[in-house]
Structure 1
Amino acid sequence: MMRELIAVTARPGIISFAGGLPAPELLPVEAWAECTARVLADDGPRALQYGPPFPPLQAQIADLMRRRGADVAPEQVFITSGCQQGLHIAGRLLMDPDSAVVLDRYVFPGVRQAFTGFARDAREVPSDVAGGLDLDAVAAAATRRPAPRAIAVVPDFHNPLGVSLGEAARDRLIDLSRDTGVPLVEDDPYGWLQFEGEPARPLVARDPDRVIYLGSFSKTVAPALRAGWLVAPPHLFDKLRVIKESVDLETSALIQRTLSAFLAAGHLDAHLSRVRATYHTRRDRMVDLIARHFPAGTRWSAPRGGMFVWAELPEGIDTLALLPTAIEAGVAYIPGAAFASTGGHHAMRLNFSNASPEAMETGLATLGHVLHTGLDRPPG
């Protein structure tokens, strides 16, 4: 459903809040071109050959993880072809046809697909814009028999809700994993995009023996790189290598070496500084415009990072049914139903990273009018 919606909403002339796209004007085109040229000049054919994980990049990612408070050795870092591949590898490692997984009720479809493609039972637990993940429901699902094989969570700037778990909630998840023996899969593509407040330590920093951690350069550098990483306990290394090799053999040697050069040149910190400042401004603008233009009774998240705002509309508005009307009016979003196995028709996910302030002003005013029309009453 998601890919079909993205294709429809990407039509020319549409102001789209649909895709999880970085701001195009911030993509590091010149720095990447310089690093690519340097790698090709220095490494020559080696950069274009088959090759194993690039040790300098593994060491650099381990350094990045230490900055988040996680003591990770370079050999624990598995380079993946994007975070989605990491999810697939984790699902294949942990699941079998008779197994169960614990998931958010609302979750990015790629997370659900990665686990339910291998498991029979998806135990969905509530989460919302006010309280985030319902940890009592997680505990109940984790202690049901048969025991689940994994609890999959997005602790930072959840896609689609935009909410984050606090320190106490993270500690409780770790305690739950220890008590039940159920491992945690920490999907963290947005943790580096925090622009407000103090960051919480990732789950893997609290107990690396209980967590499989997934990171990504798609949101922090550029989506087209299709590069990410997985961190896992040492006893899983051999199985992970076999699964990775069976999926695509290896991640592009050219991309790995160029990423390493990009990090070594110090480009990431400067790039993230620009990205965070821009996204902070755009988040502020989006929530102000939602408050101004959306119907009374709308609830929305105000994330401290990431790319998405989740809006829950008053009863009577079906965001899936209204999407063709919105597209006809020149604006697009992803209906909440795209993130749920059932329900979600009253909600929508809005991306704030990709739209210019001018497009955001026009697009959210237009969308507000469409939503008021859906309630059969004019905007006030």
Structure 2
Amino acid sequence: MKPGLVSLAGGNPYLQSLPLARLAATAAAIIAEKGLEALQYGGGQGTLELRTQICEVMAAEGILDADPDNVVITAGSQSAQDVAAKVFCDPGDVILLEDPTYVGALNTFEAYQVDVQPVVVDEHGIVPSLLRERIAALQAEGKRIKLLYTIPNFNNPSGALLAPERRQEVVDICREANILVLEDNPYGLLKFDGVLPEPLRAANPEDVLYLGSFSKIFAPGLRIGWALVPAHLKQRYYLASEAVTLCPPTFNQLLVSTYLRDYDWHGQIDSYRAIYAERCAALLAALDEFMPDGVSWSRPEGGFFVWLTLPEGIDSYPLLHQGIDAGVVFVPGAAFSPTTGPSNKLRLAFSAVPPETLREGVKRLAPVLAEAIASHR
């Protein structure tokens, strides 16, 4: 990266808060004491110990009835999305998703030649009445809708939190239309106040395939995620996952298991919440201080991202290069949309950036946006 450049682009966890020296000793001990297991092939579904511990993590997220037999450990939740598309979709089938949504999911679904169709969202997530209308319209066209992919907690990139009163209605609408809900929840534990909304899966074990990950709450480099699969679909999903990766990495699973067993992972989540809350507040304060008239932004209650909206007609993509020249980088909104064409949105990430650097980044970005707005008038 260019020296002196402030990156507000990457959605990275703040790993400096982890006990790295102790983790190094733990990793060494695993090799010394369990090396023949750690470095060998493992079971395709993942270790029973970690699957059981994952059920405890999901209990903290609000899912109290998870069975380790229905958990499949994957190479991050990205792999879990891939397997879901592979198992449940044929070319031309429709996957509904929020607009905007996670760029990695868009890329995954594109690889399977599915028809991704956006559903309308507002600052509180999916609008149930408009979801129902969208499904009816697509079915009237003869479309086969297989999945609704949603990030209900602190959507990447918008930071939106699906309103609690909408959650069951969204699942009910999909159930009536025979659409499986694919709930991706990597940020669920990272609500700043620790008061967590109930996952869609909590009351709907047969209608929701739930994806989780240690990438945001522990270490993304380990590439350990999971799928909690409805019991009647587990075997199909597991076999497809095993065909892709053979087995999740045994050493990484043992390290995650030891972390969950021997470390205060709940306390680490509390630390993350405090760090990210402080950084989000710093970013919002800088936006309040420096942004020109005509720019608005989200005010997330958790997660990693703030979503900016520029006046209609301004394309954020060309502004990326101007931002880099000014010493700051962001992600243009078009990357997160299933539709083609320019976007007047952009994403700023605060999770890995100290408060004073966030302020400097926004200070550098503001004149770029002000010039674009002035030129557009």
CA shift at 1:25, angstroms? 2.1
SS at match of 1:303: coil
Structure 1 length as normaliser, TM-score?
0.92
The one-letter code matched in structure 2 to 1:375 is: I
- For the residues of structure 2 that align with 1:356 and 1:159, how far apart are their CA atoms? 20
- Alignment of 1:339 onto 2:332: no
Given that 1:101 and 1:119 are in contact with CA atoms closer than 8 Å, whether structure 2 keeps it comes out as no
With over 3 angstroms needed to count, the CA separation of the structure-2 counterparts of 1:177 and 1:28, relative to structure 1, is farther
With over 3 angstroms needed to count, the CA separation of the structure-2 counterparts of 1:344 and 1:153, relative to structure 1, is farther
- For the residues of structure 1 that align with 2:114 and 2:39, how far apart are their CA atoms? 41
Alignment of 1:1-380 (within 5 A): 10-52=1-43, 53-70=46-63, 71-128=65-122, 130-143=123-136, 144-145=138-139, 146-196=143-193, 198-315=195-312, 317-340=314-337, 341-343=339-341, 345-376=343-374
The one-letter code matched in structure 1 to 2:301 is: R
The one-letter code matched in structure 2 to 1:67 is: A
- For the residues of structure 1 that align with 2:58 and 2:268, how far apart are their CA atoms? 18
- For the residues of structure 2 that align with 1:94 and 1:316, how far apart are their CA atoms? 38
The one-letter code matched in structure 2 to 1:332 is: V
Could you list the runs of 5+ residues in structure 1 that have no partner in the other structure?
1-9
Structure 2 length as normaliser, TM-score?
0.93
User: Can you list the C-alpha shifts for 1:77-119, whole angstroms capped at 9, x where unaligned?
Assistant: 1111111001101111111013111111211111122223324
CA shift at 1:258, angstroms? 0.7
SS at match of 2:374: coil
With over 3 angstroms needed to count, the CA separation of the structure-2 counterparts of 1:317 and 1:275, relative to structure 1, is same
SS at match of 1:106: coil
With over 3 angstroms needed to count, the CA separation of the structure-2 counterparts of 1:212 and 1:344, relative to structure 1, is farther
- For the residues of structure 2 that align with 1:147 and 1:247, how far apart are their CA atoms? 26
Give the RMSD, CA atoms, in angstroms. 1.6
Could you list the runs of 5+ residues in structure 2 that have no partner in the other structure?
none
- For the residues of structure 2 that align with 1:28 and 1:173, how far apart are their CA atoms? 40
- For the residues of structure 2 that align with 1:36 and 1:297, how far apart are their CA atoms? 51
SS at match of 1:219: coil
Using the TM superposition, name which of 242-251 and 308-317 deviates more.
308-317
The one-letter code matched in structure 2 to 1:66 is: A
CA shift at 1:133, angstroms? 2.1
SS at match of 2:211: strand
- For the residues of structure 2 that align with 1:73 and 1:183, how far apart are their CA atoms? 19
CA shift at 1:136, angstroms? 2.4
